[in-house]
Amino acid sequence: MRHTYEPDISRLGSIDTTVTYLSENCAPAQCRLIADAVNRVWSLRHIDENLPDPMHVAAHLKELGADSHCVIAALLGCHAARISVAKEELENDYSEQQRRLIESVRWLNSFVTSGSHTTSTGADIITDGKVQAERVRQLVLVMIEDVRALLIKLAFRVERLQLMLKLKSDKGAAIARETLDVYAPLANRLGVAQLKWQLEDLSFRLLEPDTYKRIAKSLEERREDREIYIGSFVDLLSERLGQAGIQNYEVKGRPKHLYSIWKKMQRKRVEISDLYDVRAVRVLVDDLQQCYAALGVVHSGWQHLPREFDDYIANPKENGYQSLHTAVIGPQGKALEVQIRSRDMNSDAELGVAAHWRYKEGSSEDTRLQKSINSLRTVLESSGDDDEPLLEVFKTEVFSDRVYVFTPKGQIVDLPQKATPLDFAYHVHTEIGHRCRGAKVNGRIVQLGHQLNNGDQVEVLTGKLSNPSRDWMSKGMGFLHTSRARAKVRAWFNVRDLETHLEEGRQIVERELKRMNARELSHAMLAEKCGVERGDPFYIAVGRNDVGQHRLLAEINAMLEPDTPIAERIPRRYVPRKNGDDIQVRGVGSLLTQMAQCCSPVPYDSIVGFITRGKGVTVHRDDCTNILNLRVAEQQRLVEVDWGQEALGDYPVVLDLVAYDRQGLLRDVTVIAANEGVNVTAMNTLTNAVDLTANMRISLSVNSIEQLVSAMDKMRQLRNVISVERVGGPA
């Protein structure tokens, strides 16, 4: 059966039928403008078969309830019209508002695919990340001006994906990936469920065709039995709703979207046969009171699953979505999902901002829509001109799912998933975040890096003075998840003594150059690559974290390998094999090599080779005590070595951890290792009964220095821990 909001392609067979279809319920003046737009574009629509047909896009928008301005902008904003119908030609017939909307759509449609290496004007693209950041920035700018332009762009993207499936183009995967990263989350943020589901399902089909077919086949094989079961449940529920005195209700089966099924299978790690909500119904009623009355009928008739109940009417989602979700054990003991909402709520859920097109045409502005636009404006302004924070904020603040927690007074606070009590503190007030010293969740004291869950009650414990920790800005430490909170911490440190930033920045630069074995690189050139004035301003920017570690490593890597293709200029993670076969002896090439057990070097360490009799070259860290204490005669056996080609493998590392002994210390250490993906191969603990300390020697298997440093940093933050040191020297 045809999807409710898919255009009726049979009505686009000729100019006359197309004009009639697109002009339905429009004023005569607008009908004339639509007819003019169709006539202008009809003969140009197939100039490039790799681009969406604007007639299909316009029809799609019409099915979504778009106004005539959107239909016209979709027709005249396509690629063919952009190059064939000049802006000056439109001045006599179209209003200024319509022309601005057309220009906005043309601007959005001039973007190239994220994987390309040239812009629409032929300019070189520096990195994919910068292209995507610029695209996000321009999408938000256009949306702030007129949200309809973004909705039109989303409709173009749906048609583009369908075209990629039809043509089986090599560009399909790149376009699908970009859609899931940028466009589908924006559609979700705007509450346009119909576009969101189509964008996700089409992208999923392009990226994972085999998985898509497997799930589709599984659903189809059970379709007849499922429809019979749902039909009988619908009849039974309808009868009980009528008996309860609820009038004008509608009960129907709810379509399932393959991408959402796959995501749930991934999240719950189950097969499709174990998902209860493959069987789902939706109840539509007239008003709010009937929603809860219908919920009472459902829960009184069948046993419900408490953990699967969500009241999005009392607590709407960030995009304005409202509905009651519950799951019950239906006939034959089969679990079944039930959604209950009013018809107005259903319209908002399916169409989102598309249900409020006409707020631009003189009616009152929709406050919920404006709230979404204002939140995106805040994100854009807070990121400034820096690409990395912009993308990071969008991923954590805009594109993520949400978690709803409560203050001690019962007020709801909306945060991104994986948010922490410290994120909560900064969300409530910046000063509360600065003064935060601890937190209680549901009455129990937790660590500041504890991840919050829906329904948690959070209480912040504060001190008298503002005293944030620099560790809070580190992603690896896990104290803060939201970029906005990290920016507030960074701003607090920015007003502190510049000499502190200067010294810390210089130490960070030296350390990263050492880890990358690139101490010979010019600091001045590195500053220029990072877009910062050389000298002290560069070190201050690094110390303030204005130039982040990821950016610093990326630029160092680019300077080390200037001929590397742009898309591959990312921080290197050389992970040689355990036996050292991938270590390169400079000037000679590959020889028999092995890793020294005394200092256990891992990728990114600065290393040196020592020629041993009969065993080839033993690779040490250059700060290894055995190397530093070599006799003069033996120093002649030292050779320069470097990490070779990238390979997969793990490296043994030994840590010494000293802490005041307490119950649960061993458990906390192993939990950190597991969370960081570090394998604990051996552990020896010696307790000193006199000073009540515990000395642990922990043998780990790591794949990079970054992984090791992150694990060590988190171990140092454990309660009662005095020190964590790497055997053979500090990490």
Residue 367 falls within a domain, yes or no? no
Residue finishing a domain among 494, 525, 556: 494
**Residue range(s) defining the domain that contains residue 555:** 498-568
Specify the pLDDT at position 411.
Answer: 79
Domain check: are 690 and 621 in the same one? no
Can you tell me the distance from the alpha carbon of 115 to that of 153, in angstroms, rounded to the nearest whole number? 19
Residue 365 within a domain: no
One domain for residues 57 and 162: yes
- What integer pLDDT is reported at residue 369 of this predicted model? 53
- Domain match, 205 and 84 both: yes
CATH of the domain at 211: 1.10.3210.10
In this structure, the answer to whether residues 345 and 405 fall within a common structural domain is no
At 36-64, the pLDDT tens digits run 888 888 888 777 777 888 898 988 888 88
- Single-letter residue type at 430: T
How many residues would you count in the chain?
731
Domain shared by 23 and 99, yes or no: yes
**Looking at residue 713, what DSSP letter applies?**
H
Structural domain includes residue 368: no
Write the CA distances from 381 to 141, 375, 378, 386, 548, integer angstroms: 11, 10, 5, 10, 19
Residue 261: what pLDDT?
A: 82
∠ Cα 134 139 140 (to 5°): 100
Of 188, 215, 242, which closes a domain? 215
User: What values do phi and psi take at 429, rounded to 5?
Assistant: -165, 140
CB 405 within 8 A of CB 456: yes
| Residues 532 and 554 placed together within one structural domain of the fold | yes
104 assigned to some structural domain: yes
pLDDT score recorded for residue 648: 47
Give all strands (DSSP E) within 616-678, no chain letters.
616-621, 638-639, 641-643, 651-660
- Secondary structure, 3-state, 276-334: HHHCEEEEEECCHHHHHHHHHHHHHHCEECHHHCEECCCCCCCCCCCCEEEEEECHHHC
In a domain? residue 192: yes
Beta strand pairing call for 693-702 and 679-688: antiparallel
Residue 117 lies in a domain: yes
DSSP run (H or E) holding 679: strand 679-688
> What is residue 335's predicted lDDT score, i.e. its pLDDT?
81
- The reply to whether 211 and 242 lie within a common domain is no
The span from the CA of 96 to the CA of 360, in Å, is: 13
| CATH code of the domain in which 278 resides | 3.30.460.10
Q: What is the pLDDT of residue 649?
A: 61
Residue 293 sits in the same domain as residue 158: no
Residues of the chain with pLDDT under 50: 1-4, 112-128, 357-365, 382-388, 563-581, 587, 646-648, 729-731
Domain shared by 282 and 325, yes or no: yes
443 falls within a domain: yes
Q: Which among 643, 671, 692 is the end of a domain?
A: 643
Q: Are residues 118 and 208 in the same domain?
A: yes
Residue 202 counted as domain residue = yes
- Give the CATH number of the domain where residue 700 resides: 3.30.70.260
β-pair type (589-590, 402-406): unpaired
The pLDDT of residue 121 is 33
Q: What is the pLDDT of residue 284?
A: 93
Say if residue 407 is in the same domain as residue 429.
yes
The domain total for the chain is 6
Which phi-psi region, left, alpha or beta, contains residue 281 (left: φ > 0; alpha: ψ -120 to 50)? beta
Do residues 404 and 343 both lie within one domain? no
